[in-house]
Structure 1
Amino acid sequence: MSSQPAHTIASRIRPEFLLAGFLVFCLHYYAYVYLFAFDEGVSAAPGVLKAVKDIVFIGALIALGFATSRDQAKPWQAYVFWPFLLILAVTTALHVPQTGWYDQLRENIKNLALFVPIYWMAFSLTSQTRKQTTKHFFGILIFAAITQSLFSFLFWFAGKKLWLDEVFVGFIGNPNSFALMLNLALAVLLMFLHRSSGWKLTSLVLIAVGLIAATIMRTTSGSQFAIFVFLLAYSFILNVESWKKYAAVALVVTAVIGVDKTALDSTLFIFQNLASTIAGTNDPSNEGLTSANPIPSNHLPNSSPPVTSLSVSLREQNIRQAFSVLTESPEAALLGSFMNTRFVPMDGQFWVMLYNNGIATILAFAIAAAFAFTSSGWYVWRHRNDKVSIVLHLMIAAFGITCLASRIIMYFPFNFMFFMICGLAIAKATEARR
């Protein structure tokens, strides 16, 4: 049978519109959590609804496979994530007899490996298609950030809450992930700020930045608020000629903080006594630290242990558990722990990979991700006028920092967005060099 019908269908698929439609779906998918019972991150929505995202993504991936050129010669930069994909598949298969297939396939394959090809596909797009895809992505991201921030405030003003502590989660469903989306939108807004010429557009951008700052504080995500400040500082360094506009941003953010000092205190609580917590990472008195018992059990009755957030305590425990694989055995250090009977989720992309899949996997991922950051960084430092590439570089930086505190690359839709952003940034920089 002729393959002509398949080619005809493929020729009608516009990758930039397909990706734009999928991004709209991605950034609004978890709005369903407001329609069902919700208990601190666990939705009572039916399983079929939760599976829709996987079905839609697989369909989009297949469609992109038809719509992009597989025969087009690609530079070596297009293949930097393939070693990671290969090693991840090997270590996953090795641990299936030990932990069972369900968690391994769900976490490593469905939530991670399936998204790696998105990076490679970015090199199969024409330069014009990549440009349109990036333009659509930026617009959809700004729209989602502003509308979901406004929704979160209206929901709160109405006296309703999703999480017990009233944190804002937008249509992402998780406060830290929602805050990351807002930070990605901030990077785009800073580009618009630099390009704005009239006072009306500049004022609109400043208002949007102020709204995002206020919303991030309401997520109480201390790590993402730190990234918010980092992005402002890093973007200023890359666009120092617009210092007056960044001074205006600083004034707006300061005013927002002054109006809602309580929200800032809640956000920064994660950093309280952080130095003491880090210093005690290898302290034997910290043994037995659990989510149910965040304070070391063998402190003296009359002692006053430093008060820090449960979030920090659990992450400190995750780091210690991850590094314990290095002393388990040479095989475990290289390929992941062989003592656990299930896949162990952790708060931190590097830590969860180290413990479950070993040094080989984390190095393959870290080297590829570091390449995406340094390569895009090298390009933007040499091409300061390419504001689009600066935005993509800032986004990669935000993801990299987030990986220290969250397994964000295993969360939908950020697994898709991470590889897409890296692909768009490196494909553009590679093409420009050539």
Structure 2
Amino acid sequence: MRLPRASAVPVVLAMTCAWGLATPGHAQSGRDEPYRPQIHYTPERNWMNDPNGLVWYQGEYHLFYQYNPKAATWGNMSWGHAVSRDLLHWRELGVALPATEDEHIFSGSVVVDEHDTSGFGEPGRPAMVAVYTSAHPRTGIQAQSLAYSLDAGRTWTKYAGNPVLDLGSTEFRDPKVFWYGEGRYWVMAVALPTARKIAFYRSGDLKRWEKLSEFGPANATDGIWEVPDLFELPVDGDPRRKKWVLVVNLNPGSVAGGSGTQYFVGDFDGVTFTADDVVTGDEPPPGHVFADFEGQDHGGWTVDSDPDLAPAPSATPPYEGPCPASRRSPVTSAAAWSTASSATTPRRAAWSHPGSRSASRTSTSSSEAGGIRTGTGPGTAGRPRVTCSPTSKVRRSEPAGPPPATSPRPCRTAAGPGASASRSSTPSSAPAPAETP
């Protein structure tokens, strides 16, 4: 459960135009609203955030998520529910676990209890069991609770013995539960946020839990630790070589500010998670560096129009300045993303050992690449391309003149096709308008 920060910009969606959108119990037939994401799942209206209980059952992918059914702001935290057969087209089913005056439903996970270890199931009808954090508004106490469904998640019954794990703490949330086949028991990874720790528990029936161990603090600890995950992956696709991955989310504490995610690769023996590399100082852990953007040469990546490498193509050195106004379409405008809330698209995970042939280097965003993005996007041929990020500076081709003050919102411009690293014999009369892809 990602708790909101007072300074955070609300991320919400509150649109109900009659364009064949997803409505409770009905599949979405179109997404013609200008600010609604086309691929990412969004509910018909109101606030959503953390995805919870991602599970495949009876021919459907189930997506549960943190949801406020009453308003377009954080609050009344409940679990929304949607299903899909292809992970792209979703049918919203409405609220699965609603908040009450005494209990808000924070993040957690869902398992299919195929062996009926909990006793919630019936012959031929294994139970879907939700393991979630009960947050009690009056006391602030956070504890782990259960609910179960016998009709593929359409209706839910809360376990009468809730909570099943209670430390009397106000910082104890986000249980991720999975079946540990080697030991034939359930394992829970749950966050101790302000302690920057992940605690591990085991259970044979999902009702009674025994503590196994703790991991942390380690590596990034500027923000509180939330929403953990623990899973095993084959190395380079080899089922005989496997590693465990512990995912820990931060709020805040990201490299670029705000919330973020870190992960640890290591081993889990059913009791203790041991990371292969833990940073103990300012130096990065040992390993193979695929791309380094901290040096002077950007790790061999090409950066056009960088005055540290060569003059700008318009015959005058670029200088620092404010981020130019962009000409974005309504769909990708800043206003759209500051008022949209969505779940991310599915991704297939794999682990590649450093130095293996399947390993590759990929830059996914300007913030991850130290503010540098090279090349051009659609509609930018022959014109500068600007990418804004907290760590980069603007590089624009302008007539010669004194450099103004450093921009409070810096950017970096990379030249488009046809640009050259050498001086041009004809200076540009004016800079071409810049676009943000």
Fold match by TM threshold 0.5: no
TM-score range, shorter chain: under 0.3
Return the structure number with greater helix share: 1
- TM-score with structure 2 length normalisation? 0.23
Which structure exhibits the higher relative contact order, with contacts defined as CA atoms closer than 8 Å and separated by 6 or more residues? 1
Return the structure number with greater strand share: 2
- TM-score with structure 1 length normalisation? 0.23
